[in-house]
Amino acid sequence: AAASTVLHVNGIEVIYNHVILVLKGVSLKVPEGGIVALLGGNGAGKTTTLRAVSNLLAGERGAVTKGSIELCGERIEALSPSELVKRGLVQVMEGRHCFAHLTIEENLMTGAYTRTDGKAAVATTLEKVYSYFPRLKTRRTSQAAYTSGGEQQMCAIGRALMANPRTVLLDEPSMGLAPQIVDEVFGIVKDLNEKERVTFLLAEQNTAMALRYADYGYILENGRVVMDGEAKSLRENADVKEFYLGMG
Ligand code: ATP
């Protein structure tokens, strides 16, 4: 049977500061257990789409003015970010945002703040996170400020996983990282997807890398989805090759 749809973004329009129309009717679907890539250049609207889903637009003076967003068939536009975390949806922000003065382990523990299932359950999740990110275990007592960019990205993902999410929105995980580290991070994402069935919606400018790991992709241009398809068919598409994979 086809996987059910976890996340359904349906024709959303987003306006910043009451006047700047940034998303002009974006629709996408994320199936349960999938890895979906949201692709496009700088300023195409990827971050805005993720912020709309996790209800983080208000802080940016942005608002969804049209369309709807459903998580497992229920409308979520009116739910607070923390309510969304409780429902299993977390976002890993662009630029990592680890707390520089906290240790890696303290950073990870901040991700468990919405948990109500007790310390033992949280400790089990922490061990699970360490099993996927052995580098974080090695660096558990290091202050985040003194860890590498790759370790900070892993810490940001690990912290999101501490909430025990079913769906993770991952904003530009490759940003500022060496290709080998990007591969390592994406490899872990794939592992989490396959072994824990965590669903991912991944915003990426690194089209080649994202399409290597995702099952399906949407390409955004100027606030609109201009193309979507299976990752394999996008990789072979002439326009994608020319404009996004630098193979023209
Ligand atoms: P990037 O990779 O640079 O993050 P993106 O595809 O994620 O690109 P967005 O960050 O969603 O793009 O930005 C889409 C458009 O919205 C851009 O034109 C940007 O300048 C504008 N924008 C983003 N945030 C705000 C804001 N807080 N106020 C006004 N305009 C904004």
Model confidence over 149-188: pLDDT tens digits?
Answer: 999 999 999 999 999 999 999 999 999 899 999 999 999 9
Model confidence over 22-48: pLDDT tens digits?
Answer: 999 999 999 999 999 999 999 999 999
Pocket test for ligand 1, best of 9, 18, 20 (most atoms within 8 A of CB): 20
Q: Give percent of the chain with pLDDT exceeding 90.
A: 90
CA 60 to ligand 1: nearest atom: 27
Of 240, 233, 234, 221, residue with least CA distance to 26: 221
DSSP string covering 80-146, please?
Answer: -HHHHHHTTEEEE-TT----TTSBHHHHHHHTTTT--S-HHHHHHHHHHHHHH-HHHHHTTTSBGGG
Q: Atom 4 (ligand 1): residue with closest C-alpha?
A: 47
Q: Compute the residue count for the chain.
A: 248
> Is 42 a pocket residue for ligand 1 (Cβ < 6 Å)?
yes
Cα of 99 to ligand 1 centre, how many Å? 24
Of 85, 72, 66, residue with least CA distance to 27: 66
pTM of the model: 0.95
How far apart are the C-alpha atoms of 85 and 88, rounded to whole Å? 5
